[in-house]
Amino acid sequence: MYSLLFKLIFQRMDPEKAHHLAFRWIRLAARIPVLRTFAAAVLAPRYKELRTEALGRRMHGPFGLAAGFDKNAVAIDGMAMLGFDHVEIGTVTAEPQPGNPKKRLFRLVPDRALINRMGFNNDGSAAVAARLAARNPVFRTTLGVNIGKTKVVPEDAAIADYVTSTERLAGHADYLVVNVSSPNTPGLRSLQAVDHLRPLLAAVREAADRTVQGRRVPLLVKIAPDLADEDVDAVADLAVELGLDGIIATNTTIARDSLGLASDPALVQETGGLSGAPVKARSLEVLRRLYARVGDRVTLVGVGGIENAEDAWQRILAGATLVQGYSAFIYEGPFYARAIHKGLAARLRNSPYATLADAVGAEHKKVTSE
């Protein structure tokens, strides 16, 4: 049904306009009590065997919505209604910004991928913080807040910019993510270098601890799939050194030529970050490398090309405690999370693992025990 709707309506629309239309429908459904209850019953069935503990939270399952879909924290309940076990909002910057000029979002349908150069378009951390403070949750879900650098802020002022957002948002977050890996903000990815990343993460950690009394807000960093292997290792070592709570692997890629893309070459060469199925292999490779380096000392979140339950299961076996999706949601529609949960539960039941936690990193543990 959704595939037909996508072909007849959404695929013919400008991708950003289609996103806003679908977004409005989701928000509307979540505001109507009878409709949201029915939708959640159908789209968000719970499986006891998938219950997950991560980042100090108990979640219905491991599968969440990646940052980028709900930039301004306006549809958290709507996304929980659709079955996402955690929702990561953002990326939010200290100052509001419109993002890059349109057109800035492109579908690569034959490749089940997206290219975006949105440029962190968002309402700014003050407005998002006010929205979160006024929120009256309908569904219980874990809320992640992803923060990035305001575009006009120079690199030498980036730490202060992130600290401002941290001070405003940390109190509303179940976990906080430092995004240094989007390709659409000039100079941002240079912050992934350990010499820049260490003081940034330390400052955000200090600001979160100072701002939020009585609990520790877990802190994660999101990295790019384009990092060289030695840089992935360096980030992993830094995470252990700083006592970081987690690493999200990975963001979008700027790679094109090595991915065997089948879409129109002119479309493929649009600038921006590529997400979806073509990122799958490298994202999984980075995840495996991270787990081999940090083991269970740091929570790993697998994202990038998660199209189905098998993709999610492979990330868990490779070391991810949590898994996120976004681009495939555009192609799969409202039953996306339901299918992931159903498939994960079936795979766990047919596996040698008693719990989902036992499956995390099992691929690596099997190799090292042989």
CA distance 303 to 297: 19
Which residues are designated catalytic? 182
| Rounded alpha-carbon distances, angstroms, from residue 126 to 6, 132, 194, 240 | 35, 10, 29, 31
Domains and CATH numbers, the chain: 2-369 (3.20.20.70)
Could you report the per-residue pLDDT of 156-189, keeping only the tens digit for each?
999 999 999 999 999 999 999 999 999 989 888 9
Instruction: Write down the pLDDT at residue 172.
Output: 98
Residue 368 has pLDDT above 80, yes or no: no
Residue 70 has pLDDT above 70, yes or no: yes
DSSP per residue, 43-59: H----GGG-EEETTEEE
List, in sequence order, every beta strand (DSSP E) within the chain. Answer: 52-54, 57-59, 63-65, 86-92, 105-108, 113-116, 142-147, 175-179, 219-223, 246-249, 273-276, 299-303, 322-325
Collapsing DSSP states into helix, strand and coil, what is residue 81?
helix
Report how far Cα 36 is from the mean position of its chain's Cα atoms: 24
Could you report the per-residue pLDDT of 265-311, keeping only the tens digit for each?
999 999 999 999 999 999 999 999 999 999 999 999 999 999 999 99
CA distance 43 to 341: 10
CA distance 249 to 87: 16
Token pair, residue 94, equals 């200290």
